[in-house]
Amino acid sequence: MQPEGHDIELSVNGVQYRRAVEARMLLSDFLRHELMLAGTHVGCEQGVCGACTILLDGAPVRSCLMFAVQAGGHDLFTVEGLIGASGELNPLQQAMHEHHGLQCGYCTPGILMTMTAFLKQNPDPSELELREALSGNLCRCTGYQNIVDAMLKAAEMMRAAAP
Amino acid sequence: MTTRFFGAPVKRNEDRKLLTGQALFIDDVELPNMLHAAFLRSQVAHARIRRIDVSAALKRPGVVAVYTADDLGAYWQAGPLLVPPPPIPGIIFHLRTQVPLARDKIRYAGEPLAVIVAESRYIAEDALDDIVVDLETLPAVVDLEAAMAAGAAVVHDDLGSNVASHVRQAKGDYRRAAANADLVLKRRFRYEHGISSPIETRGIVAQWNARGQQMTIWDTTQAPVFVRNGLAAILGVSERQVRVIAPFIGGGFGPKIMIFYPEEVTLPWISMRLNRPVKWIEDRLEHFVATTHERGQIHDAEIAIARDGRILGVRDVFLHDNGAYNPYGLTVPINSQCTMLGPYVIPAYDSTFTSVFTTLPIVTPYRGAGRQHGVFVIERLLDLAAHELAIDPVEIRRRNLIPPDAFPFNNEIIYQDFAPLQYDSGNYEPVLDKALAAIGYEKFVHEEQPKLRAEGRCVGIAVACYVEGTGVGPYEGAKVQVQSNGRVSLVTGIGTQGQGHFTSFAQIVADQLGVDVTEVDVVTGDTDQFYWGAGTFASRGAVVAGNAISEASQVVRRKALKLAGEVFECSEDDLVIADGKVSITGIPEKFVSLSELAQRANPMRGAVKPGTEPGLESTQYFGPPSGTTANGVHAMVVEVDPETFELRILKYVVVHDCGTVINPMILAGQIHGGVAQGIGNAFYEKLAFDDQGQLLNASLADYLLPTALEIPRMELGHTATASPLNPLGIKGAGEAGAIPVGALFAQGIENALELARKGIELLEIPLSPSRLYELTRKDGT
């Protein structure tokens, strides 16, 4: 059986995609199972846990709370887009590695995306500001301390590298 | 041998995949022609099933099949008993295990009644609404005491009561201890533990290959070997025809070791029947009711104590909620019973528990696995006794610590691993002293607290101790193999859920074989790669698998040296193994690489000596005689807002002794995460059931996992008393962070609000702002 499709065109990590999707398909399912960009994880499908966070035109959004059709015409950015051209980790990823900011790694893509947007908006956050920004992403493994340390370090590195 | 890696904070091998979105988690498994399953779950807790009509669902376009219990035929059978009861005399144990799909009777809200298989999950879920269920609702069994009362509804009709088990363990003569005591103090304690709620829920993908007669199952399990064996048996195929792969798993914490979940047995059967791959991924709402919980116990406990604070005896009678079925045997309540003894000399102990069937989801171990409950009771009893006897709460603990020369210390009761509860080693007082120094106990109590109180601030301090039985048997194994390209492969049977095994295990191998830690490729949780094993539970991975890995690495090292000795026609004693090669001592240019040795060990032509085994490889197993006991102390300074009861943790200290440490960075992460879950348990998380057995807060918006704002920075300290029970001297660490936090919160909040002075005692967990409001207003102030 063929559900009614809506043609959408969108960009993910700079690549243009054109697909026909059912109106009710969640953006998270579309990214994961249609575009096979499975790095975006799904934890609750209720917009609470933050695991599915991606950037939509630069702003962090829960991809489980959007339909794929709503993303038509927009620029999306997911965890797969973070890595450098020659395969190097970006400063956030590198800092997470250095500071043991991940254990099972399931919440990690969402955290990286939330923090990518946050550190752009606030390049020199206090620890409390950073914890507030991080509080929309649940992690059950780490107790957050190493994530906080990693992100403060990443902010510092990016400030130092900025012209 | 140089130890470049063992004991060092080596960065993790697995991080890159996880940080770039390339790790394979269960829902990332995509197979051609794959179907999707959705389960119809009971909306009531207790009912008889009159009729289930699936005819409308079958007519929905895109639906391929719908099955109920009747369709499963002979395949429908109750699940296995995972852990048989330990050999305790006089024990009563009634085994009633979960079934694939409910037939005749429903025993908890969330129990699956039917499964729909469709071309997409969207369609499968649509069709759930098409199924018509006719039920005769029965009274729910929720409250433990009501469940035991005469005339209560019975969860398993044939038993005639809701008693699942009854166990008494005792040592010494409590009655005499109480008669000789200066103080006997008795209280009722309630301790509830919640759900583990990993950020990844459960899932399973089953793929039957009819041509090859092979079943491949991807499963979010902590025990892939056990799943393989069990599924082969019920599917009626050989174990070699079933491959279970536990891919990257997004957190486990205990419940992912339960066997078998209904979905876990039905999906392979469906795949075989339809000859198509089938996927089921649990959604978060399902997770709250379909994945196992830990939950509540009610303890009536008393302590007999001398005027100087010495414990003479403890007596405890408690009820344990094991939910609708008890596949995990007695592990949780036995842990509570055993862990209550803590680091203290308790000459007389008399503990009896009754495990109770309720119409609630199944209870199995969740990080701590009943240990929290026991620690809470003994620590609170000591706090109350200290107050009565006007002894400092730290001092009363110190006076009762098991002295270092008393090890091995026999507690004279049986632990969950069937072995006597004997503490293998420990040195408790330095751990306590280190924690007190780190938290600044004396200065806080005598200088800071009075000053802050004078300013009107409610600040308190708390110190809690625990002992944790870890690293239990039976065994694990490992295969170490040098590959032709010089990289080293390590495979083991346990699964991994974020503990850093790809790194800590590689560290053990790397030192023995003189390679870099990044040159060791670790595979866990694939039954075709390693056939044997038990699983990841009870803080045992590093202890049990770690020692097998060490042994296998040493054998391979000897093989490499022997072979190189033949190459150079010299004694093995004249050779060094480092940097991926074996060289002659003092002549580094005379070397042969591990890669070349691996190729020489597998000649393609010619003859070998009789008895020669090919390859630079070894498979070894390790089984400890009994579990090894880790211990620790948590200390906290906490401020409570007396109006809103909001908490601010001003300082949090953990000092811990888990024997020899493989990777202190990973260990710290385990402690941080454990404490965070402990804090959730103590103050934020509560499974709220109504009297109909409905979970009222089955979403992450209502069941409050702590966020980055609730979890404080932690200061960690370590001592290391090597375990004599394994060659590496390791003790487990996975659960330690979570265990004493409830006790710590009750003590700290009481102290901050000076509740003892007001005659108010905190005898329950979880606490919360609203619960504290109720408890502290009881006296009408």
Tens digits of residue pLDDT in B495-541: 888 999 999 999 999 999 999 999 999 999 999 999 998 887 777 88
Residue spans per domain, chain A: 5-82, 91-161
Percent of chain A with pLDDT over 90: 95
User: Which pLDDT band, with edges at 50, 70 and 90, does B358 fall under?
Assistant: very high
- State pLDDT tens for residues B373-413: 999 999 999 999 999 999 999 999 999 999 999 999 999 99
Q: Tell whether B32 is within 8 A of chain A (Cβ).
A: no
Is residue B613 classed exposed, middle or buried when 0-12, 13-18 and 19+ CB atoms within 10 A define those classes?
A: exposed
Contact A39 B11 (CB under 8 A): no
- Is pLDDT above 50 for B781? no
Q: What is the DSSP string of A16-62?
A: EEEEEE-TT-BHHHIIIIIS--TTS--S-SSSSS-TTEEEETTEEEE
Contact B253 A140 (CB under 8 A): yes
- Is pLDDT above 80 for B778? no
User: Which pLDDT band, with edges at 50, 70 and 90, does B777 fall under?
Assistant: confident
Chain A CB contacts of B676 below 8 Å: 140, 142-144
Q: What is the pLDDT of residue A163?
A: 74
The CATH number given to B296-472+625-779 is 3.30.365.10
Q: Tell whether A49 is within 8 A of chain B (Cβ).
A: yes
| ipTM score assigned to the predicted complex | 0.98
| Residues contacting residue B600 through CB under 8 Å, at least 6 positions apart | B563, B567
Fold observed for domain B197-290:
Aldehyde Oxidoreductase; domain 4 (3.30.365)
User: Which pLDDT band, with edges at 50, 70 and 90, does A1 fall under?
Assistant: very low
Contact B673 A109 (CB under 8 A): no
Dihedral Cα A90, A95, A97, A98, nearest 10 deg: 140
Tell me the average pLDDT across A111-115. 98
Q: What does the block give as tokens for B77?
A: 């059978």
Contact B668 A140 (CB under 8 A): no
Q: How many contacts does A have with B, using Cβ atoms within 8 A?
A: 173
> Chain A: residue nearest B195 by CA?
A140
Calpha distance A122→B486 (Å, rounded):
46
> A50 to chain B, minimum CA–CA distance in Å?
10
Facing A39 at nearest CB: one of B21, B699, B713: B21
Q: Give chain A's mean pLDDT.
A: 96
- Is pLDDT above 60 for B43? yes
Contact A79 B20 (CB under 8 A): yes
> B376 to chain A, minimum CA–CA distance in Å?
22
Return the CATH superfamily for domain A5-82: Beta-grasp domain (3.10.20.30)
Tell me the average pLDDT across B37-51. 98
- State pLDDT tens for residues B429-467: 999 999 999 999 999 999 999 999 999 999 999 999 999
> B681 to chain A, minimum CA–CA distance in Å?
12
Q: What is the DSSP string of B566-602?
A: HHHTS-GGGEEEETTEEEETTEEEEEEEHHHHHHHTS
Percent of chain B with pLDDT over 90: 92
Q: Give chain B's mean pLDDT.
A: 95
**CATH of region B15-21+473-622, choose from 1.10.10.10, 3.50.50.60, 3.40.1390.20, 3.30.365.10:** 3.30.365.10
- State pLDDT tens for residues A78-101: 999 999 999 999 999 999 999 999
Tally of CB atoms within 10 A around A162: 7
Q: What is the pLDDT of residue B172?
A: 96
The CATH number given to B35-166 is 3.90.1170.50
Q: Is the dihedral of CA B571, B572, B575, B580 positive or negative?
A: positive
What are the residue ranges of CATH 3.90.1170.50 in chain B?
35-166
What are the residue ranges of CATH 3.30.365.10 in chain B?
15-21+473-622, 197-290, 296-472+625-779
Q: What is the pLDDT of residue B159?
A: 97
Q: Tell whether A44 is within 8 A of chain B (Cβ).
A: yes
Give chain B's largest Cα–Cα span.
Answer: 93
Tally of CB atoms within 10 A around B16: 16
User: Which pLDDT band, with edges at 50, 70 and 90, does B605 fall under?
Assistant: confident
Q: Tell whether A97 is within 8 A of chain B (Cβ).
A: yes
Calpha distance B626→B470 (Å, rounded):
9
- Is pLDDT above 90 for B716? yes
- Is pLDDT above 70 for B780? no
Chain A CB contacts of B666 below 8 Å: 100
The CATH number given to A91-161 is 1.10.150.120
pTM of the model: 0.97
Q: Give yes or no for a contact between B249 and B25, defined as CB atoms under 8 angstroms apart.
A: yes
- State pLDDT tens for residues B490-505: 999 888 889 999 999 9
Contact B669 A103 (CB under 8 A): yes
> Residue B1's closest CA among B561, B486, B545, B522?
B561
